[in-house]
Amino acid sequence: MKKKRKKLQIYVYSKGTDKPESYSIPVRVIGGWLFGLMIIILGFAFWLPNNMINLKNFRVFEIAKEQKAMQLTANKLEKQISEANSQIKNGRNLREKINQLAGLPADTTDIEKKSAVKNRKGIRILADLERIKKSQETFKRFRDSLLKNEFYSKNLPLLHPVKQHQNITNRFGRAQDPIIRRELPHRGLDFAVSEGDTVIATGDGLVENIMNQRFGFGTTLEIQHSPRIKTVYSHLQSILVQAGKPVKKGQPVALAGKSGSVLWPVLHYEVRFDNQPINPEDYFITR
């Protein structure tokens, strides 16, 4: 006689009717499902912790590798900062000597404070390292020239042309023209100013030329400091000196403005050596 298999009878009552729907599921089928679910649960219980440990070990090795690379980078950075500090110290000593020879105050407190802040933060030191080296070479040439000729030192354009000299909007090289919206060669420095700000002579010299142009550089003043060195001040509101007259270092020579092809008040300042523009920032010895 054939053995009758046990079944689980399930009744489902639907809403709105009295007659239920019935389903018969063999008990063996339900047992198979439960057994399979237990296998899955046990598999996760034994496999997942081992897998997490492997991933963790892999991450530990990865972190150790990253830390080693960061340590090498930090050592390299520390060496470069140390070299930059040495260059800054040498440049500061040369700057003090030139200040004395040029008859300028030898107060370098602000320079030291700014240098200390930069050293602590490690900002801009690496980027400025090459510029510091070039400036140091320039200062050495200045020192040698000043030692040979004290009168010549007074004529060198070593001062900033305006009091708010930190507000440089365009540097020597290339700059965006606000009128034509194109990048063009830029042969000097642009200082953000207010109309009427005082512009001073950066060294002793002779007023060589005064130009009044409607466009371009607008009202412009040129001062000849030596047979080979000249400074140019542009976009002026007005000029306080006369052509052919001598001027002294630090003497007010003009008022800043926005004449010519500019949209806001600005002072364009150039230093020319043998009539070729050079970077004025390499010749400032005051901060």
**Model confidence pLDDT, tens digit, residues 43-53:** 766 665 555 54
Question: At 129, which amino acid appears?
Answer: L
Rounded to the nearest integer, the mean pLDDT of the chain is 77
What is the C-alpha to C-alpha distance for residues 267 and 257, in angstroms, rounded to an integer? 7
Confidence (pLDDT) at 201: 96
The predicted model gives 177-196 an average pLDDT of 80
Q: Within its chain, how far is the Cα of 205 from the centroid? A: 35
Q: Look up residue 230 and give its DSSP letter.
A: E
Asked if 8 and 31 count as a contact pair (C-beta separation under 8 A), the reply is: no
What is the C-alpha to C-alpha distance for residues 88 and 287, in angstroms, rounded to an integer? 14
Confidence (pLDDT) at 112: 54
- Report phi then psi at 123, rounded to 5: -100, 135
One-character DSSP codes across 91-139: HHHHHHHHHHHTT-----HHHHHHHHHHHHHT-SHHHHHHHHHHHHHHH
Mean pLDDT is lowest, of 14-18, 87-91, 241-245, 281-285, for 14-18
The predicted model gives 164-176 an average pLDDT of 80
Question: Which of residues 257 and 284 earns the better pLDDT score?
Answer: 257
Question: Which of residues 213 and 58 earns the better pLDDT score?
Answer: 213
Beta-carbon contacts of 103 under 8 Å, excluding residues fewer than 6 positions away, are: 153, 154, 249
Confidence (pLDDT) at 125: 62
223 three-class SS: strand
pLDDT at 114 over 60: no
| Cα–Cα distance list, 26 to 4, 7, 30, 138, 174 (Å) | 11, 4, 7, 98, 87
pLDDT tens digit sequence for 231-272: 999 999 999 999 999 999 999 999 999 999 888 899 999 999
Nearest residue to 194 (alpha-carbon basis) of 219, 167, 216, 154: 167
Question: Which of residues 237 and 31 earns the better pLDDT score?
Answer: 237
Give the pTM: 0.50
> β-strand 7-12 against 21-26: which pairing, if any?
antiparallel
Nearest residue to 252 (alpha-carbon basis) of 264, 241, 236, 266: 241
Give 219: exposed, middle or buried? Use CB within 10 Å, 0-12, 13-18, 19+. buried
